[in-house]
Structure 1
Amino acid sequence: MVKHFGWTWIGTVCSDSDYGNNGMASFLKAAEEEGICVEYSEAYYRTQPRSKLKRVADVIRKSTARVIVAFVAAGDMRFLLEELSQQPPPPMQWLGSEAWVTDPQMLRFSLCIGAVGVAIPRSVIPGFRNFLLDLSSEQAVKFPLLTEFWENSFSCSLKQQTGSSTAMPACNGTEDLRALHNPYTDTSQLRVTNMVYKATYAIAHALQGIVCNEKRDKCDKNIKVEPRQTLWPPMNL
């Protein structure tokens, strides 16, 4: 896209993680080959000190490049935009990676108006929404993560804390997930999730083809499977 629009003077920022650093390294290599000049290349991660985030924001504000490529995770991008909003830079053209450019949470930042980027196609997983909504309080209480989700969503406690004046009221079993409107119940933006779904089924079918191939009368669940056997075409190692 940078080459297509003829932008030859840009800035870049990425998440200081495997995702961001590896993605940006590939981009910078391609940019050099295309004769695209990079004024600055910054990296940060949301758990790093705020002073680091402020420094990155200041670099962006003081730069002369008006196009910025952001290979950033959504959580990191939100922190950066919040910091930039404190003292907005001149209008910029953002180019985003798939991790944040389609995130609805970014719509509240006017800094992103006109951003373009790449995205994984949106899809619907049959039956997935009903599966999520079938979660009950009895199931949620068995898993710490689901317990936290349930209590935060309904402002009630699945496990009452005795002796605490700040304890939330006990959940009474009338909580209804279908009445919620949050990222958990929103299955209209399944992008990465759908890729995981397809990858899981691809591996499952590959394993079934190995343990239940046509040469056997029945499936051999005790067979030892080598990772390379699940690839197609098969690897001859």
Structure 2
Amino acid sequence: MVKHFGWTWIGAVRSDSDYGNYGMASFLKAAQAEGICVEFSEAYYRTQPRSKLERVTNVIRRSTARVIIAFMASGDMKILLAELSRQPPPPLQWIGSETWITDPDILRYNMCAGAIGFGVPRSVIPGLREFLLDLTPSKALQSPLLTEFWESSFNCYLKGRTDNKEGARECDGSEDIHKLQNPYLDTSQLRITNMVYKATYAIAHGIHGLICNGTQCDKTIKFSPWQV
């Protein structure tokens, strides 16, 4: 994309994680081969001290590059943009990695107007919405995570809990998950989620191929991860 638009003087920032470091390393190698000059390459991770965040944003503000590659996780990018908003730099052309370029929350940062990048395609996971809507109080009680989700969504505590929240009302059965308005039921933006879904099924098919022969399966068979 940088080559396509003819940009030869750019800045780069990344998440200080395997995702950001390996992704940026690949980009910098390709950029060098194409004669693209990188004025700076900075890294930040959300748990690092604020002083590190301030240093990275000051590098961006002082930079003469007007095109910035951001190979960052969405959470790291939001923190970076929030800090930059305190003292906005001159207009920048942002190029984003797939984790944040399709995140609608990024739209609240005006400095990202016109940002471009590559996104993982949206997909529909068959049966997922129906599975989510099938959640009931009894099923929620079987999982601490789902119990917390149900109680926080409907502001009540499930019958059978031994550690009831003081002052909270007991869930009375009138709670309707079909009418819930929160991200739980939004299955329209399943991008990374769908990649995980496909990877899980790929592993499952691999294991099936190792332990099954036709309709006969032997779950006692020993195998190594590389065989999957």
Q: How does the TM-score come out when normalised to structure 1? A: 0.87
Deviations, residues 182-211 of structure 1 (Å, cap 9, x unaligned): 222110111111111112212222222222
Q: CA deviation at 1:35?
A: 1.2
| Contact map agreement 2:157 2:164 (CA 8 A) in 1 | no
Return the alpha-carbon distance in structure 2 between the equivalents of residues 163 and 100 of structure 1.
Answer: 36
How many aligned residue pairs are there? Answer: 226
Return the alpha-carbon distance in structure 2 between the equivalents of residues 85 and 102 of structure 1.
Answer: 20
Name 1:70's counterpart in structure 2: 70
Name 2:208's counterpart in structure 1: 208
Q: Which amino acid aligns with 1:91?
A: P
Select the structure that is richer in helix: 2
Alignment equivalent of 2:217, drawn from 207, 216, 219: 219
Deviations, residues 76-132 of structure 1 (Å, cap 9, x unaligned): 111111111122111111100011101111121111111111111110011101111
* RMSD over equivalenced CA pairs, Å: 2.0
Structure-2 change in CA distance of 1:168 and 1:208 (3 Å) = same
| Contact map agreement 1:160 1:170 (CA 8 A) in 2 | no
Return the alpha-carbon distance in structure 2 between the equivalents of residues 98 and 112 of structure 1.
Answer: 15
Name 1:233's counterpart in structure 2: none
- Mind listing any 5+ residue stretches in structure 2 that lack a counterpart? none
The yes-or-no answer on 1:111 pairing with 2:111 is: yes
Identity of aligned residues (%): 67
Name 2:51's counterpart in structure 1: 51
Q: CA deviation at 1:67?
A: 0.4
Name 2:39's counterpart in structure 1: 39
Name 1:235's counterpart in structure 2: none
Name 1:179's counterpart in structure 2: 179
Q: Which amino acid aligns with 1:3?
A: K
- Mind listing any 5+ residue stretches in structure 1 that lack a counterpart? 231-237
| Paired residue secondary structure (1:145) | helix
Return the alpha-carbon distance in structure 1 between the equivalents of residues 111 and 174 of structure 2.
Answer: 42
Return the alpha-carbon distance in structure 2 between the equivalents of residues 162 and 33 of structure 1.
Answer: 62
| Paired residue secondary structure (1:99) | helix
Deviations, residues 130-161 of structure 1 (Å, cap 9, x unaligned): 11121223322332322332333233334575
Q: CA deviation at 1:50?
A: 1.9
Structure-2 change in CA distance of 1:187 and 1:22 (3 Å) = same
Q: CA deviation at 1:174?
A: 2.2
Aligned pairs (5 A) from 1:1-237: 1-158=1-158, 159=161, 164=166, 167-214=167-214, 218-230=216-228
Q: Which amino acid aligns with 1:227?
A: P
Return the alpha-carbon distance in structure 1 between the equivalents of residues 165 and 179 of structure 2.
Answer: 31
Return the alpha-carbon distance in structure 2 between the equivalents of residues 12 and 36 of structure 1.
Answer: 12
